[in-house]
Structure 1
Amino acid sequence: MADTTVGMSSDLVEAAGMPVGSGEIKPEYDPRLTNEDLAPLRKQTWGSYNIFAFWMSDVHSVGGYVTAGSLFALGLSSWQVLVSLLIGITIVYFFCNLVAKPSQLTGVPYPVICRTVFGVLGANVPAIIRGAIAVAWYGIQTYLASAALDVVVLKLFPALMPYADVDRYGFLGLPLLGWCTYALLWVLQAAVFWTGMETIRKFIDFCGPAVYVVMIVLTGYLIYQAGWGAINLNLGEVSYTGLSAVPVMLGAIALVVSYFSGPMLNFGDFSRYGRSFRAVKRGNLLGLPV
């Protein structure tokens, strides 16, 4: 019976995204409040590059591009959008360092740190709320990625175009092709998450630079196809100049901070792996403002 209980506990820990035995449970810990996922890590191995790659993967995503592109819809010019992005990301950098420090020093995740503010039982409330938000955001990101995959699939296989028609093969506002690509990406992401944080780290370490390479190649291709004369950095009509643009830029800054609020709030779940707070700060600096 004891062996069965240990086996089930190990499975739960692995399912939570941690390799078995990563947390060090001391005898004085209350067993009702501790498991190997919540206990302080035995080893903290992430360096600046790992944190840097994490932000590279997060910033350069479909959601990130949609958020940045939507700022032009506010009537701002390209330089106003750039300034808003830089200020917003600098604010995120500052707060990420604040969130990172307690988790990095103690090696525990966000839900445990919340106990110092909300109490042992009260910490369940923000933990559940952030879990619900994570589920919703997982669906949003997967949908955005599936929409991009739809474009690629239709480009390679034009015969599938009828299945992209929501009026002919639609269900709950999504065509059959959209459901297929959504399900595919949902499963692929879940497969990566299920294998644990170490696999996620390796995946991010590869994908972070890869995103930059693909972005540079695509930029060069678009410039080659369109020509320099067709490039316009203002994606929308510029409606505000001078001091009248300040309130709108403040709104844009707030939107940028809001976009990063998810990873910013949960950043302790990643900073706990940092080998030092200095390494985490350096990774944040390279991955955010720089």
Structure 2
Amino acid sequence: MEASVATSTAASSWRTEHGLTDQHISNGRLFNPDIAPRTGKGNWGTGSLFNWWMSAWHSLGGYAMAVGFMALGLNGWQALLGMAIGMIAMWGASNLMGVAGQRVGVPFPVLARMSFGVNGANIPAFLRAIVAVCWYGIQTFLASQAVLILALKIFPGLEPLNNTMFLGLSQLGWMCLLLLWAAQLFVLHRGMETVRRLSDFAGPTIWIAMIALALWTLSRADWKLDWNYTMSDQVLTGGAAVVGVLSVASLVLAYMAGPMLNFADFTRMSSSESSVRRGNALGLLLNGIAFALISVIIGIASAEVYDAAVTDPILLLGDLDSITLLLVATLAVSVAQVGVNIICNFVSASFDFAHLAPKAITFKIGGVITAVLAIVVMPWHMYSSPVIINYFLGGVGALVGPLFGILIADFYLVKKSKFIVKDLYTSAPQGAYHYSGGFNVPYIAAFLLCGIVTLIVALVPAFSALASFSWPIGVTLGFLSVLAIKALSSKKEIVEAI
């Protein structure tokens, strides 16, 4: 009864604020309550977005990426400089996508209907879902390894379960993986407000663990830091070092390419545009650079202790002698991993799968699909070394980049930030976003062409020197393609008028 009353109240708000009719609300191909437009003022303020970014950055994957950059021939301070440059660029890009999401008040796949058409938006939605599924699986696996170490420390008798393998993972590994898998699914099924609360808790939690880990590692290294340390036998200097720093900046952008693309899933619930910008400045610029700094410090300090930088902080946790400290650290890392996984991957994929078939797939069902697929892809095989992760990021950016460029150019330069919310939920030919049968063919063709180009850059060995720049190349190509289509359309209109 309460659910029906809530739905009725929401429907009234959709009608009042956005002009949606029964025809819009009953359109099972384009509408369900989970992907409906925001009504009223959002409840995600600056603090929530600040914590969102804390949760997004504070992860085992983020640490592995930061330390892994020193395997590319850069020393500690060069890697840190590259990450700082990347975050500054990301700050600008996130403001553009975040503000668009706040203004329109709809999740990413629905926002994409403005550019690709009410049916064509399934293309970017499906692509983003697949990327999210892979990263969801990787992050869940990483967190499960911390739990595994804790379990073996407390219960040494479990060692036989860690020696029996199935599909590349031990029995104990499977148990730990499925435990965190179920915990994340539970959080998602509690709804977006629970996700926000988890983000508010998870972000600060990992800071406690990372600072403690940094102090502990530094003390074992006698407080020595060699900022010229590098993990590579070939040290980059001169122009090569400059290119290397810029490559790091680009790979940092690629690392967050997916979450930046679907940033509207969260900023649509923001209370104002200014809260989005402030949250990005504090959570991304200030906090992100600080996390990169402490990650590099831990990596350099660990090199003093182990003669080589430890790229996986879980290995450092395994050296903790105190069961109490290990328990606290493992819980902090696990909570942080769950937080980053849900906000960066789980939520996005759930919305994207729901968008593919709104009548049959709700946000919660989309979450179940995401969780199952994340196991099917066997992420422990995908995650093997920092270098592989970095180049995988380049491949991800190759496809996500053009989408980002097309959406931003279309929203700000073509449509001038003007939109009709109700037309995002109609299949009627006269709808503003119906285009040709629900597909904006020129934009889809542009995406396919740009995607092919950037995939070649990212994956073909002959272009390996440009591989790390696949995301900015993709964004630039997507952006320019929209301008070219706009120019050609204007020229055609002039000719037809004559």
Opposite residue 136 of structure 1, the aligned amino acid is C
Distance, in Å, in 2 between the alignment partners of 1:254 and 1:22 is 43
What residue in structure 1 maps to residue 190 of structure 2? 195
1:95 aligns with 2:58: no
> What secondary structure is seen at the aligned counterpart in 1 of 2:132?
helix
> What SS does the aligned partner of 2:33 have?
coil
Which residue does the alignment assign to 2:274?
278
Runs of at least 5 residues in structure 2 that lack an aligned partner in the other structure: 287-498
For 2:34 and 2:120, how far apart are their aligned partners in 1?
19
What is the alpha-carbon root mean square deviation over aligned residues? 2.2
- Which ranges in structure 1 are unaligned for 5 or more consecutive residues? 11-19
1:97-176 mapped onto 2 (5 Å cutoff): 97-165=95-163, 169-176=164-171
Flag the structure with higher helix content.
2
The alignment status of 1:25 with 2:8, answered yes or no, reads: no
Q: Is the 8 A contact 1:25 1:34 kept in 2?
A: no
SS in structure 2 of the partner of residue 25 of structure 1: helix
Q: Structure 1 segments of 4 or more deviating over 3 A? A: 20-24
Q: Deviations over 1:228-253 (max 9, x none)?
A: 13x44435246112222122222222
- CA drift at 1:136: 1.8
Whether 1:240 and 2:229 are equivalent positions in the alignment is no
3-state SS, counterpart of residue 282 of structure 2: helix
Deviates more, 1:29-38 or 1:59-68: 29-38
Q: Which amino acid aligns with 2:161?
A: Y
Q: Distance in 2 between matches of 1:90 and 1:151?
A: 36
Offset of residue 224 of structure 1: 3.0
8 A contact 1:23–1:41 mirrored in 2: no
Equivalent in the alignment of 1:289: 285
Q: Tell me how far 1:24 sits from its aligned partner.
A: 4.1
Aligned to 1:13: none
* CA–CA distance in structure 2, aligned partners of residues 179 and 193 of structure 1: 21
User: How do 1:203-282 and structure 2 match up within 5 A?
Assistant: 203-229=198-224, 231-233=225-227, 234=229, 236-237=231-232, 239-282=235-278
Q: Is the 8 A contact 1:25 1:36 kept in 2?
A: no
TM-score by length of 2: 0.52
CA distance in 2, matches of 1:223, 1:23: 59
Quick one: distance in 2 between partners of 1:222 and 1:69? 14
Question: How many residue pairs align between the two structures?
Answer: 272
Q: CA deviation at 1:281?
A: 0.8
> TM-score with structure 1 length normalisation?
0.87
How high is the sequence identity, in percent, across the aligned residues?
42
| Alpha-carbon contact 1:93-1:289 (below 8 Å) kept | yes
Note if 1:40 corresponds to 2:29: no
Question: Residues 152 and 104 (structure 1 numbering): CA distance in 2 closer, same or farther, change over 3 Å?
Answer: same
In structure 2, do the counterparts of structure 1 residues 250 and 76 end up closer, same or farther at CA, with 3 Å as the change threshold? Answer: same
1:153 Cα shift?
2.2
Q: Cα deviation per residue 1:21-55 (whole Å; 9 max; x = unaligned)?
A: 49943243623133222222123011111001011
Output the amino acid matched with 1:199: T
In the TM superposition, residue 68 of structure 1 has moved relative to its aligned partner by: 1.1
Deviation at 1:218, TM superposition (A): 2.1
Specify the SS of the correspondent of 2:106: coil
SS in 2 for 1:87: helix
Work out the CA distance in 1 between the residues paired with 2:138 and 2:254: 15
Mapped partners of 2:240, 2:38: distance in 1:
51
Whole-angstrom distance in 1 between the partners of 2:218 and 2:68 = 22
